[in-house]
Amino acid sequence: MILVIDIGNTNIKLALFSGRRILKHFRLATDKKASAKKYKRRLSSLFARKKIKRSQIKGAIACSVVPRINNVFSNAVFSLCREKPLFLGKDIIAPIKNLYKRPSQVGQDRLANAFGAYNLYGGPVVIVDFGTALTFDLVSEKGEYLGGIIVPGPEIALKALIKNADLLPYLTLTKPVAFLGRETKESIRSGLVYGYSFLVEGILSRLKAQLKRRPKIVATGGAASLMSIYCPSIKDIAPHLTLQGLNEIYIGHK
């Protein structure tokens, strides 16, 4: 089994693959101050609950947008499994032609998404990732990474709104009851969900216009299932796209 790790700003997502098949997947909260010992305890507890035998893990690959915890988490994984994760962008390079003006500026998670989406759906393909940031990434028919767009994600927008407006109540991002809210929580939910759906559809419309062929639109990230209901351009949801992309890169590397 291969352990695949996606270190994000909010969560660390992990999966165990056998070939191209996901056997198990789980996540833990990103703690930027945690020690290797603390992460090892958390991972050990997760492995026990999921009935994972450490001896079955024969390799590991990771990508990260939180560089400060890379060594700490890598040490935790090695201490637990005796396998040091290969980090995308450092130990292993995503096998995709990157046409960014400054290729090093593209997040490794976005390159993993791009490679995974191209392998799963072909090209051209647009990946909409509803994570801490809402990102749009465009991959050509030839499998080239053409570039992307970055917007604060809906969850971040919600947290910022509540933090900076004293009278607004705490709430979670869920399906609004109606377009026109008749109390504060529903007004906020409607504004976020419908507002972001209009944003997504508008950006996708402009991206489609840049391509000769109609692209596949693939959504991933925590809010993908919710937001895809309100975004008619989104036909496919790949909840584990980053992990699948990393696994494909590992398979090709080996």
pLDDT digits (tens, 9 = 90+) for 171-181: 999 999 999 99
Please indicate, yes or no, whether residues 223 and 128 belong to a single structural domain of this protein. Answer: yes
Backbone phi, psi, residue 139, to 5°: -120, 130
Instruction: Examine the fold and report which residue of 87, 120, 150 is the final residue of a domain before the chain moves on.
Output: 87
Question: Model-level pTM?
Answer: 0.92
Q: What is the 3-state secondary structure (H, E, C) of 86-147?
A: EEECCCECCCCCECCCCHHHCCHHHHHHHHHHHHHHCCCEEEEEECCEEEEEEECCCCCEEE
Residues of the chain under the 50 pLDDT cut? none
CA angle in degrees (0–180, nearest 5) for 238-244-247: 180
Q: Are residues 24 and 112 in the same domain?
A: no
Q: Tell whether 150 and 66 lie within a shared domain.
A: no
Residues 64 and 107 in one domain: no
Query: Tell me, what's the pLDDT at 36?
Result: 95
Q: Is residue 93 part of a domain?
A: no
Whether 109 sits among the annotated catalytic residues: the reply is yes
Q: Are 86 and 74 in contact (CB under 8 A)?
A: no
What's the domain count of the chain? 2
> Do residues 123 and 156 both lie within one domain?
yes
Q: Within a domain: residue 95?
A: no
33 and 159 fall within a common domain: no
Residue 171, both tokens:
């709430």
Query: Same domain for 75 and 196?
Result: no
Same domain for 67 and 150?
no
pLDDT at residue 209, rounded to an integer = 87
* Residue 43 domain flag: yes
- Measured distance CA(139)–CA(130) in Å, rounded: 17
Query: Which CATH number do you get for residue 8?
Result: 3.30.420.40
Query: Are 26 and 135 in the same domain?
Result: no
Range of the domain at 39: 2-87
The catalytic residue among 6, 109, 129, 137 is 109
Question: What pLDDT score does 150 carry?
Answer: 96
Q: What is the pLDDT of residue 10?
A: 87
Angle among Cα 158, 163, 164 to the nearest 5 degrees reads 105
